[in-house]
Chain A
Amino acid sequence: DAGITQSPRHKVTETGTPVTLRCHQTENHRYMYWYRQDPGHGLRLIHYSYGVKDTDKGEVSDGYSVSRSKTEDFLLTLESATSSQTSVYFCAISEREATGELFFGEGSRLTVL
């Protein structure tokens, strides 16, 4: 497995609280992505990064923000969690742009009560 870890792996929180998920890679890949996985929707892109401090929105970015201050870390923040953000979140990395192979983390299961 590629050197990519997500933390926390499981989290239960209450509506309105802030949540930060961390993705850490040891591969020195330039591109990093956050997807959410939901039944019937598959994987949907939240945000992605194409370099340190360079990020862009995906198709379901509302309610989420990201930061990438170092090559190895890509943080996903829910400023005020809602029940609709209950999901499994996957981080992925890639050496090249979207035409390259994505390597995925193990996922972070978030439950918002």
Chain B
Amino acid sequence: AQRVTQPEKLLSVFKGAPVELKCNYSYSGSPELFWYVQYSRQRLQLLLRHISRESIKGFTADLNKGETSFHLKKPFAQEEDSAMYYCALSGTGRRALTFGSGTRLQVQP
């Protein structure tokens, strides 16, 4: 079975501080990992995926197969980064994403 764990329900940081949202997964095969974000009053949307290795809104995430992690990082948090963040996994042969429980990021001024 595949599983995604986000250990922090809430992460509160000050503007300009570094941010790391943790995501660990359990999957025996070769997974694809994603980060989705839900800003206040907006739809859930894709933030980034590991295969593209791109930086979106200053966020990056590296897949670490040894530690089975896909942590989301940003060196300097902005107030507009405040949102709910979900890590998601897609395994070979499965037709739907498995989501973690989410982490709410609060960036204080």
Q: Which A residues lie at the B interface, using CB under 8 A?
A: 1, 31, 33, 35, 40-45, 48, 50, 56, 58-59, 90, 92, 97-99, 101-107
Contacts and interface: CB of A to CB of B under 8 A. Distances in A.
A1 B91 CA distance: 27
Contact of B95 (A56, A59, A103): A56
Interface of B: 6, 9, 32, 36, 43-46, 49, 86, 90-91, 94-102
B67 to A, nearest CB: 21
Contact of B90 (A40, A90, A99, A106): A99
A1 B96 CA distance: 21
Chain B interface secondary structure, helix, strand, loop or mixed? loop
Given A42-B6, A42-B86, A50 B44 contact: no
Contacts of A42: 6, 86, 99-102
Contacts of B101: 40-42
A97 B61 CA distance: 22
Contact of B44 (A58, A59, A90): A90
B94 A98 contact: yes
